[in-house]
A and B are shown apart, each in its own frame.
Chain A
Amino acid sequence: MSQGTREKGRPIPSSAFAALLYVIMFVIYLLNSPSAITLAGITDLLNNTIVLALASAGLTLVILTAELDLSSVGVIAVTNVIVATVSTKFPGGAFISLVLVCLVGLLVGLINGWLVTFLGLQSLACTLGTMIVCQGIALLILEAPGGEVAAFIMNRLTDTLFGFMPVAGLILLLVITGWLLFRRTRLGIAIYAVGTDAVAARLTGLNVKRTKWIVFSLAGMAYGLAGYMLGAQTGTGDPRISNSFLLYVFAAVAIGGTSLGGGRGGVIGSVVGAGILTVMQKLLFAVGVAEFYTNIFNGVIMVVAILFGNLSAILSLRQRVITPRYRDRQFVPH
């Protein structure tokens, strides 16, 4: 700081490191299962990734504002059982359950947001509470795994469109495109500002509370959609919450380079992170690792994910590529 203004250019986004890791993992997986590169193989991989990707995308938004959200698995459980019970009951059930799922997710998100921003509750404890409540509601709707997801959902959403585009892939593309646009809106910029320094953001004139509230709500909807897609993948509803899945959602966000302290990272990284974890899981399965090792694996991978995320953040800040986006003619380096 005592050296005057120095043009530093933009840092390499830490999601780039995640992308690199993904490519490496994919290649390893490919070596093991050559069929992975076929359309069926890719569709299968994307189908396995989509639930985690949607959930971690939602969580990323909350984490960017320097808050935490544990309710993802709760919302997924509720929405999953809703799809499994409602979609076969009415004509057009697939669509109705989609709407319901979005509403439920939105509602939970609104409640979380209200509790955290207006009542000022700490987000970790508070979303832990809503997660448990959601699980309770899921159990009330469906006491044990069961129900049936409409065939339409199951078949169409796990399939390909026009014969070459996996639906899951299309959804992911929509998410990524949506994010790239969202990042450039006022709200998107506000999210980063609030997550970096909420006090300064307020002095700037940004409405910190409203920003956080919106973010929790959007996350809730994302979790809802994740639950919907889970129904599409499994064909049934499961009201039980998996601790491992909660770990995975956070691991995906961490690997992707989003800082748990807020203000840094993005959805793209988290989606890639979800991809990495899915490939890893499939790899372990393909190699024949025993079932109970997965728990150990889940635990270890979480810790490694955080460390990897920290490492890539450090690396990305150190190595900045000098590509000034706009040259100021009067710029005089000191």
Chain B
Amino acid sequence: MDSSAPILQATNLQKRYGATTALDEVSFSLCPGEVCGLLGENGAGKSTLVKILSGIVIPDAGEIILDRQTYRPRDILDAKAAGLSTAFQELSLIPTLSVAVNLFLPKPKVNALRLVSMRSLEEEASAILNQYGITGVSPSALIGDLPLAARQRIEIVRAMLRKPRVLLLDEPTAALSEREWLFGLIDVLIARGTSILYVTHRLDEVRRLCKRCVILRNGKKVLDASTVGMTDEDVFSKMAGRSVVESYPVRESSVNDSAPPVLDVRHLSAARVNEISFAVRRGEVLGVAALEGQGQSALFKALVGLAPLKQGHLAVDGKRVVIRSPRAARAAGLVLVPEERKSEGIFNDLSTAANISIPIINRAASFDFIRGKRERRLVERGAALVDLHSRYLPPNIDALSGGNQQKAILARSLLTEPKCLLLFDPTRGVDVGTKHNIYRVIRSFVREGGAALFYSTELDELVHLCDRCIVIYRGTIVAEVSEKELSPQVLLSLAAGHVSDASQSLIPGNSTNGTSI
């Protein structure tokens, strides 16, 4: 690490959105050739910081100095011109355009006529793909046709193209099955003097790459120190503000084997899903582990009828059911808590109470007219189930934090009295306190005879919450892990698949407990 003057110095960055403070006087610095980790729970302010540095958001207050000059980018191009590039977590790639065009957007090279020549663009792209070690991708392929892992690589390469002084990598390995490729590139960049801000939730990566890390919590910086000698416990407690030991509810198995499985799936095939069979028993939380884009989203959609089934059958409580729409799914007792809360979960123009009551609103009505008191009672019952304070019920659901919104969605699902809850990453973007709440709700739901299919990107959740876990890779189940064998390392290695590229999927030398969170 170069100990000369910092290349990036941010002082007292402040950003508020209405009543919420996203960043509260955050300052930090980056030295040339240094990789600094940026950690924090969802909602801690990491993404706001990234947006500010990338030029997408203008801070309310604070100053940034990049390469000894005041840095106030008004958009991404300004940032790039100043020497700062970002590889976004929400990929900035256009699916209907080719790899070559995407690599050079927004200003692909033009000839004398101000026209872009696809051929020369693709030649250049090909050279770049080779240079960065991306094989198997043709520069004329459309981004939309590529698997998520390939897209993530292209996003990363794009950010590196202009040889930035500072590179921001936002969750760069979310979809990558083989991370050595990235780590190799990072090593090369550091040697060249590039500074990297590495945003991640994965502690093993932080240990491997970063000598220093910054932890944010609730918009404030709570730690900015060397990673040497830091234990996982230290990190977790800084991030969550409490000890990790008390995180998870004690799990007593409530699995009931005598009854037929609540959900029995046989040979299910749909788009991106190939011959999946599993069963969720009464009283069980069955976990699903998978890297991004392996078909788990397609599976959940098919189970509730949001996507058509090519083949296969479902049985609920032993009885065959055909599910063609979410209405039918609900009638059969299957309810989905969806992936994208903002676009598929909440009705953002309605109040929280209206959001909770909507699927069962008919119960609160006589002759079609909604009875205020009845609705209120229903909603309050739902809110009590998830520990949602009644003061959150009248306002628009838009005003609530992600965690409270998720509680409302969960309340709504529970009120429909489902047999099996299908939960797709329910704790994404949710603060720690609410996460524990959600775990408790799920466990008590299954204890009373329900069942749950639980997909999460956080391996620790799967390990501690689930009775069993299936691992999905490339659209099929590659493993089923029983309670005894459940551990984050096992899940991660299975989820990354053994059959991809030649290199290993586990980081060598990682022997600490509690890898990803």
Give A contacts to B, CB under 8 Å: 1-8, 181, 184-186, 189-190, 192-193, 196-197, 199-207, 263-264, 324-328, 330-334
Contact of A2 among B80, B114, B123, B147 (CB under 8 A): B147
User: Which DSSP category, helix, strand, loop or mixed, fits chain B's interface?
Assistant: loop
Contacts of B140 in A (CB 8 A): 324-326
Within 8 A of A (CB), among B129-180: 129-130, 135-142, 145-148, 150
Scoring B residues 107 to 139 as 1 if CB is less than 8 Å from chain A, else 0, what string do you get? 110100111111100110010011000011111
Contact of A328 among B115, B119, B126 (CB under 8 A): B126
Q: Are B135 and A205 in contact (CB under 8 A)?
A: no
How many angstroms from the CA of A190 to the CA of B105 in the assembled complex? 8
Contacts of A2 in B (CB 8 A): 147, 272, 274, 294-295, 474-475
How many angstroms from the CA of A193 to the CA of B101 in the assembled complex? 10
Within 8 A of A (CB), among B63-119: 75-77, 80, 88, 90-97, 101-102, 105-108, 110, 113-119
How many angstroms from the CA of A192 to the CA of B141 in the assembled complex? 16
Known A203-B56, A330-B130, A332-B135; judge A7-B141 contact (CB<8 A).
yes
Q: Are A5 and B137 in contact (CB under 8 A)?
A: yes
Q: Are B107 and A186 in contact (CB under 8 A)?
A: yes
Q: Are A196 and B95 in contact (CB under 8 A)?
A: yes
Contacts of A192 in B (CB 8 A): 94, 96-97
Contacts of B93 in A (CB 8 A): 200, 204
Q: How many residues of B contact A (CB 8 A)?
A: 53
**B260 an interface residue at 8 Å Cβ cutoff?**
no
Q: Are B116 and A4 in contact (CB under 8 A)?
A: no
How many angstroms from the CA of A4 to the CA of B119 in the assembled complex? 24
Q: Are B122 and A326 in contact (CB under 8 A)?
A: yes
Contacts of A8 in B (CB 8 A): 141-142, 145
**B333 an interface residue at 8 Å Cβ cutoff?**
no
How many angstroms from the CA of A324 to the CA of B137 in the assembled complex? 12
Contacts of B305 in A (CB 8 A): none
Contacts of B115 in A (CB 8 A): 181, 184-185
**B345 an interface residue at 8 Å Cβ cutoff?**
no
Q: Are A5 and B106 in contact (CB under 8 A)?
A: no
Further 5 A-B residue pairs, CB within 8 A, beyond A1-B147, A204-B106: A2-B272, A200-B92, A203-B92, A205-B107, A327-B138
Can you name 24 A-B pairs with beta carbons within 8 Å? A1-B148, A5-B145, A7-B141, A8-B142, A181-B113, A184-B118, A186-B114, A196-B94, A197-B94, A200-B90, A200-B91, A201-B94, A203-B90, A206-B106, A207-B75, A325-B118, A325-B119, A326-B123, A326-B126, A327-B138, A328-B129, A328-B137, A331-B138, A334-B136
How many angstroms from the CA of A5 to the CA of B99 in the assembled complex? 12
Contacts of B105 in A (CB 8 A): 189, 193, 204-206
**Pairs A-B, 5 closest by C-beta atoms:** A203-B92, A205-B76, A2-B474, A2-B475, A205-B106
Contacts of A205 in B (CB 8 A): 75-77, 80, 105-107
B349 to chain A minimum Cβ distance, whole angstroms, is 15
Known A1-B148, A2-B295, A186-B116; judge A326-B94 contact (CB<8 A).
no
How many angstroms from the CA of A5 to the CA of B143 in the assembled complex? 10
